[in-house]
Amino acid sequence: MAEKRFRKLIRRVPVVRAALSMAAWRAAGGIGAAVLWEHFLRPRGSPPAETVFALLAAVFFGLAWAAYLRLDGLKGPRVAVKRPPPKRRTGDMADHLEDDPDGDARPLLPEEKTAARLAADLAVSVLFFLLSLWLGGRG
């Protein structure tokens, strides 16, 4: 059931655009975390870079699995966080900020966001898995 829904949703251009954007940011964050670990935080005798990329692949695969379950209808617990309302400043730029350059752009529906998260997390987990295999085969 969720596979058909995912295939139907991922064919929409805004969902693909959101998935590509999410995947790029998540891959950049994961690579940044791996580089930070490798160059600054790794103690002597700890696992090499391919293990870090394999661990990141497992984390993103777990996130993709959670998104799949959410797309299949599983609802997780909701945590209510009370935040104070943001202070809004108005000025001359307020008129220009409200102009929408994408005239027809609408926010994604929650189901579309979940499909985009699933696609992005799967893509990033495959990328990190392939990176771990490539780094492991080098040395």
Angle between helices 49-71 and 13-36 (to 10 degrees): 150
Q: How far, CA to CA in Å, does 54 sit from each of 51, 60, 61, 90, 128?
A: 5, 10, 10, 48, 6
pTM: 0.75
Give me the amino acid identity at 52: V
Work out the burial of residue 46: count CB atoms within 10 Å of its CB; fewer than 13 is exposed, 13-18 middle, 19 or more buried. Answer: exposed
Q: What is the mean pLDDT of each run of 10 residues along the chain (139 residues)?
A: 79 89 95 87 74 92 93 81 78 54 71 92 95 79
Q: Please give the pLDDT value at position 56.
A: 93
Instruction: Determine contact, residues 61/53, Cβ cutoff 8 Å.
Output: no
Q: Tokens at residue 116, please?
A: 């985009």
